[in-house]
Structure 1
Amino acid sequence: MNTVLTIAGTDPTGGAGVQADLKTFMAHNVYGMSIITALVAQNTLGVKDIMNVTPDFLEEQFDCVFNDIFPDALKIGMVSETELIHTIVKKLKQYHARHIVVDPVMVSTSGSRLIEDSALDALKYELIPLSEIITPNIPEAEVLIGKKIKSKEDMIRAAQDIRQWYQGDILIKGGHFEDRADDLLYHNNEKIWLECEHIDNPNTHGTGCTLSSAIASHLASGYDMITSVRKAKDYISGALKANLDLGHGSGPLNHCWNLKQKR
């Protein structure tokens, strides 16, 4: 069985973070593993508190995974402190990790800020350059380029701006637009639009975590980047269309919608 690792924070209600990633891995028939960066007290209504792990404990988790079950691919989600980013960069280089997907988590679906300002440069110039693809949504891409994104043309310009300091693939997600949910994959300077109608479902908690984990799952299974992204986009659309309705805020997705379909 192919193996995938998530490096991220937690969600006790299971809709985002490590819990969502592990569900996504299972739905794609890959073996999921996890390294915890932070314990996050959150639910569908918002983030209540964050307790980061220590750099030493983060290193211990890395050693446990990579010295035992080496991952075929990995995704990195929420990392809020500069020192933790430095630790991740160090260990990724040490173990020559492959197929790295970075979801630059900065703001939760509920609007809570999830990264310290001082950690942004470390994320942008140290961690992201090690990845094969990054998956920012519109607000995250705006932070990365320091400009507003209001149209598909702005998405293209944002990808071109990011290309000035990052050579990997860029997937800018358009789900924050009201009329469409078209994503832009900037692959080797080729602009590929992944078109999708806007799905009328307010329950979008953990969509970014889930999409990046699906991409990592497909990369681990041997698919090329374009195919991996297309398949992940189809999966997230199905999870939204399943219309799961849990919680009192922006609820979680049905991560196992495709497994139910197969029964």
Structure 2
Amino acid sequence: MLLPLTPDGQTPVRVLTIAGTDSGGSAGVQADSRTMTLLGVHACVAVTAVTVQNSLRVSDFHVIPPQTVADQVRVVVSDIGIGAAKTGMLASQATIEAVAQVCAEVGIGQTGSIPLVVDPVAASINGDPLLPDSALDALRHTLIPMATVLTPNLDEVRVLVGIDDRTARQAAEALHKFGQRWTIVKGGHLRSSPVSTDLLYDGDKFHEMSAPRIVTAHDHGAGDTLAAATACALAHGYDVPLAIAFAKEWTTRSLQASYPLGAGRGPVSALWRLREAAPLPPR
């Protein structure tokens, strides 16, 4: 399943990523832009932080002034227009609050017409902290309630609500109390299972979405890729369950195409899309 491509010479669907950079090129705005481009979407970027990282770790990061982050969002939406937005690394309480405020101002999120995917990035894939404790309440109570869909992995669920003594359904119910429209609890980090099952919840019904687990040591950027693909599908007018199903299939294919890079974890790869000519599905 692929999103329809825009004919040459016509303006494609636009999606905005509000996230940090990855100097190693595996995650962050680099992973988001790669997925968006290979899905035929024009990627717009509001950079929140510049990281110093490679395949082994994040050794430092510099936070972009929150007003500059908000201004990037404001000028893109007012001139170029977007069909959806996603957030990734937000780095500080002030940035989270600035992003929430500007999203409300320009119509991104539940109070507006532009869908918002919130990927609550709190730590790198290698465990390096990317969000200080002081910012977690701002994330829980200002930005997450604006989300069309929240996409935490199990580690992020644990940080946000505590999951050690809860089932995935209980965790989804606890997360949903923050006020977002849809919650997905990703099962990709539960490596003991031969199947990767994500649980989608709208406050009423649960939807299970499963795929074969791809055994690979190279999964850097998987969460970014899922959130970016979800935003692209939402921008094309897909409803949330279909958008998540599409994004899960895209991420599975990208995991299958992952490759080694440096001495640590390599990235998932959307480059498989360049090697396959597949028919476009009906909408």
The answer, yes or no, to whether TM exceeds 0.5 is: yes
Question: 1:234 and 1:56 mapped to 2: Cα distance?
Answer: 36
**Length-normalised TM-score, structure 1:** 0.95
CA shift, 1:256, in A, is 2.0
* Structure 2 match to 1:96: 107
Structure 1 residue ranges without an equivalent (≥5): none
Kindly provide the CA deviation profile for residues 75-103 of structure 1, in whole angstroms up to 9, marking residues without a partner as x.
00001211111111110111112100000
Aligned pair 1:44/2:55, yes or no? yes
Corresponding residue for residue 231 of structure 2: 216
Q: CA deviation at 1:146?
A: 2.2
| Structure-2 separation of matches of 1:30 and 1:129 | 26
Taking every aligned residue pair, what percent have the same amino acid on both sides?
A: 36
Aligned to 1:176: 189
Once the two structures are superposed, the pairs formed by residues 227-238 of structure 1 within 5 Å of their partners are: 227-238=242-253
Residue type at the aligned position of 2:24: T
Contact 2:148 2:181 in 1 (8 A): yes
- Paired positions, count: 260
Q: The residue matched to 2:211 in structure 1 has which SS?
A: coil
Q: Which consecutive segments of 4 or more residues in structure 1 shift more than 3 A? A: none
In structure 1, the residue matched to 2:144 is 128
AA aligned opposite 2:153: N
Shift in CA distance, 243/76, structure 1 to aligned 2, threshold 3 Å = closer
- Alignment partner of 1:195 is 2:210: yes
Counterpart in the other structure of 2:275: 260
The 3-state SS of whatever aligns with 2:48 is strand
CA distance in 1 between counterparts of 2:61 and 2:259 reads 27
Structure 2 residue aligned with 1:164: 177
Deviation at 1:60, TM superposition (A): 2.4
Between the aligned partners of 2:120 and 2:268, the Cα distance in structure 1 is: 20
Q: Distance in 1 between matches of 2:116 and 2:178?
A: 17
Equivalent position SS for 1:262: coil
Structure 2 residue aligned with 1:35? 46
Residue deviations 1:160-202 (CA, integer Å, cap 9, x gap):
1122232410111111112231111113421111112221111
TM-score, length-normalised on structure 2?
0.89
The separation in 1 between residues aligned to 2:271 and 2:30, in whole angstroms, is 13
Residue by residue, what CA displacement relative to the aligned partner does 1:127-180 show, whole Å, maximum 9, x if unpaired? Answer: 00011000000010111112316xxx7110001112223241011111111223
Q: Which moved more, 1:236-245 or 1:208-217?
A: 236-245
Q: Which moved more, 1:56-65 or 1:218-227?
A: 56-65
> Counterparts of 1:243 and 1:30 in 2: how far apart (Å)?
21
